[in-house]
A and B are shown apart, each in its own frame.
Chain A
Amino acid sequence: MSQTGTTTRAGTTADHPVVCARGVRKSFGDLQVLKGIDLDVRRGEVVVVLGPSGSGKSTLLRCINHLEVMDAGWITVDGVQIGYESRGGRLFHARDSVIARQRQRVGMVFQQFNLFGHMTVLENLIEAPVGLHGVPRDEAVRRARRLLAQVGLEGREDSYPRQLSGGQQQRVAIARALAIEPDLLLFDEPTSALDPELVGEVLGTMRELAAAGYTMVVVTHEISFAREAADTVVFMDDGVIVEQGPPEDVLGNPQEERTKAFLQRFL
């Protein structure tokens, strides 16, 4: 991995948090899914969010890039509140085109891969760089080939997603997220839809990204990945962050009963 996570963009510094969330609340109907979440993600940090199903961890992740609209609180990504714009000291819901631009440096990897089915692997990788970032096509193609080599899929650029295994599709999806030179990578249960024997190849790729210094927020059920790759483990349950800290503390020596009970199930 040649890219480093220490590059800084205008208005941010290395110690300024990439993601800053305060008091995030979200309900679906009567069900309160997030009950006031505070979270900081520093540049180059790998945050792994663990927790039982329905604990709100995916919803939190999707609030970060405004795929889910939160009810209260705020989140900034590189200082920008995605989905909102401030005019004259007042906050407004941003227009569609503004939101689109705000999202352009956040890469996302989905549980169901969501590769564009009518495009080849190569087309999937250059769609955003060429279409949205104005990268010249041949440069985007060169970069896409390099990324495919990084995720171990060179020579598959003309395949269609459906011709690949789940693990290969997910690695293409990771390469697609890297192709936009993201400031932040979001992973929404990236291995949950994979056959058990394919989980390893995807986690391996993600471990390399972590080592390369990408800023990552990973929602997963893979405790082993959290233990090996995370800088910070966040344990969520019932819409709140129960415990967070380095993996050796949260996983090795959990303080809260709920964390202990959750980890017990994986022993």
Chain B
Amino acid sequence: MDADGRDVAGARHTFRWGQWAARVVVLVVAAMIVHFLVTNPNFEWGTVWAWFRAPSIGRALWTTLWLAAVSMVLGTLLGVFLAVARMSANRLLNGLAGVYIWFFRGTPLLVQLIFWFNLAALLPQIGIGVPFGGPKLVSWSTNDLITPLTAAILGLALNEAAYMAEVIRGGLLSVDPGQREAARAFGMSSGRALRRVVLPQAMRAIIPPTGNQLISMVKATSQVSVIAMADLLYTVQSVYNRTFETIPLLIVAVLWYLIVTSVLNVVQAFIEDHYARGERGTTGLPAMVRRRLRGRRGAGRAGAPVTTIEQGDRA
């Protein structure tokens, strides 16, 4: 060893009293919380467990899930169009998308939901025909069209589209303009260049905030309870309005929301890993898991045999 003690291999970490004190404090507080959760009879864990598995809560959870999924898909599709329009050189498209985003981001979701639900008060009939009071080809009663379900999907999807448009636009801007230029130079139309070259690379920047949006969406669906849509929160509320087991039922809702968002976090990690291909240094758990799976399946993968043959040739 170095006699002067300069060799960094021998360097030690200073013992940090502050760090250890902080750890002790955190441990004590955590123990207090657990103690509170376990010993406070007002949580009524038995009731929580019973309702946690109740079929009515399961149906409500299902409503929440597919409402979030449908609204997210519709919102994302519309968001892609808005993002592309917002970035287009066409002033008309650009302006229209700008106004849309301005309006739907600028007003509370709750207000939009109530507004769509009460659309009939503003517009009793919806039809297709000659505008400005001309004859109608077909016409529907707004009250028939706008149910809690359609109002919820309209409200959530249209609102989501405004946010997703900005998320997607940010992703598209993160891709080197040279990529688009090369695609165009090789004879791709702008639509094809977007689909094949720009969007796939924008996904890396789009996925993390989209995960945020999806998790927000799952929770935002709770706002449809104001228009009598039987989602998780609405159902939980209607139960405790009857039984007065307010806290246990709210905990049931909290647990289910946490479970769903946790699963989404894991899914997001896998999707991020998929779109990280082409980048060096893609570590992280999903990458490890996928490599293991691939190793086990071996040459069964499409495309893998080619590599095998080549390596065989060289050997």
Q: Using a CB–CB distance below 8 Å, which chain A residues touch chain B?
A: 65, 67, 96-97, 100-104, 106-108, 110, 112, 114-119, 127-128, 131-132, 155, 158, 160-163, 176, 180
B182 touches A132 (CB 8 A): no
Known: A67-B184, A116-B182. A158 touches B307 (CB 8 A): yes
B186 touches A132 (CB 8 A): yes
- Among B100-108, B121-129, B188-196, the one that faces the other chain is B188-196
Nearest-Cβ distance from residue A187 to partner chain B, whole angstroms: 12
By a CB distance below 8 angstroms, the chain A residues around B187 are: 100-104, 106, 128, 132, 180
Q: Is B200 an interface residue (CB 8 A)?
A: yes
Option from A103, A116, A131, A158 in Cβ contact (under 8 Å) with B185: A103
- Among B51-59, B141-149, B220-228, B274-282, the one that faces the other chain is B274-282
Nearest CB in chain B to that of A186: its residue: B185
Nearest-Cβ distance from residue B273 to partner chain A, whole angstroms: 13
CA A74 to CA B264, docked complex, whole Å: 56
Nearest CB in chain B to that of A116: its residue: B197
Nearest-Cβ distance from residue B303 to partner chain A, whole angstroms: 8
CA A75 to CA B203, docked complex, whole Å: 38
CA A176 to CA B185, docked complex, whole Å: 12
Nearest CB in chain A to that of B193: its residue: A100
A-B CB contact pairs (8 Å), 17 listed: A100-B189, A104-B187, A112-B178, A115-B182, A116-B197, A118-B200, A118-B277, A118-B278, A127-B186, A127-B196, A128-B186, A128-B188, A160-B277, A160-B278, A160-B279, A162-B279, A163-B280
Q: Is B183 an interface residue (CB 8 A)?
A: yes
Nearest-Cβ distance from residue B275 to partner chain A, whole angstroms: 8
CA A132 to CA B179, docked complex, whole Å: 17
CA A228 to CA B235, docked complex, whole Å: 81
A114 touches B182 (CB 8 A): yes
Q: Is B7 an interface residue (CB 8 A)?
A: no
